[in-house]
Amino acid sequence: MLEPAEVRDINSVVAVGADILRRMGAGLIAVIPGDVSLVDADEVEEGLNLAPCSSVTVVIPDRRRPGTNGLMFATSAPPEFTYGADSFAKYLEQNASRRTMPLSSRSLELDVDEPREPRLHSI
C-alpha cells in the first residue's frame, strides 16, 4: 500500500482506495468521478456484472471519448490507473496486458467539465 507521502495524484488516490476496499473484503469496485451527476444504477450494475464474468476492466468513456467516467473491475485484478489526458485510450491500450472492455453508458458519459455543462445534462 502507498504511504500518505506517495499519494500525489488522482491515480495514486484511486489505487489506495481500491487496495483498502480489497482488504476490507470487496470483490468488485466501480470508480465513478464526482462530476458524473446523473448516474443510472442499472447502468452501473451492467458494468459490474461484466467485470467478474469475463475478468476484465470495464471502461466507460465520457461523451467526448478522451476521458474516462467509469471503471469497473474485480479487486483481484485492478487496472493500472491512468486518469488524466486521453485516459480512455490509455485504458484500452492496457488490453495488451489485461482485458479491457469499453462500455457505452448514457448516464455515465455525462460529466461536468465546464461551467455551462450542467444545463446540457438536464432531463
Q: What is the CATH number of the domain that holds 16?
A: 3.90.550.10
Cell 466507460 identifies what position?
60
User: Among residues of the chain, what percentage have pLDDT more than 70?
Assistant: 82
Query: Which of 34-38, 47-51, 58-62 ranks highest by mean pLDDT?
Result: 58-62
Check residues 21 and 37 and name the one with the higher pLDDT.
21
Within a domain: 115: no
Q: What does pLDDT average to over the chain?
A: 84
Mean pLDDT to the nearest integer, 100-115: 82
State the average pLDDT over residues 33-42: 88
In a domain, 116, yes or no: no
pTM over 0.85: no
In eight-state DSSP terms, residue 34 is T
3-state secondary structure of 81: coil
In Å, how far from its chain's centre is CA 87? 10
Per-residue HEC secondary structure of 15-32 comes to: HHHHHHHHHCCCCEEEEC
Q: What is the pLDDT of residue 19?
A: 92
Asked whether residue 93 is domain-assigned, the answer is yes
> Considering the domain boundaries, does residue 123 fall inside one?
no
Domain that includes residue 89, residue range: 4-110
Task: Note the residue count of the chain.
Answer: 123
Joined grid coordinates for residue 77: 485484478
82 is a domain residue: yes
Q: Grade residue 83 by pLDDT with cuts at 50, 70 and 90.
A: very high
Task: Indicate whether 92 belongs to any domain.
Answer: yes
Q: Is the pLDDT of residue 58 over 90?
A: yes
Cβ partners under 8 Å of residue 111, min gap 6: 33, 35, 36, 37, 62, 63, 67, 69, 117
- 100, three cell numbers: 479491457
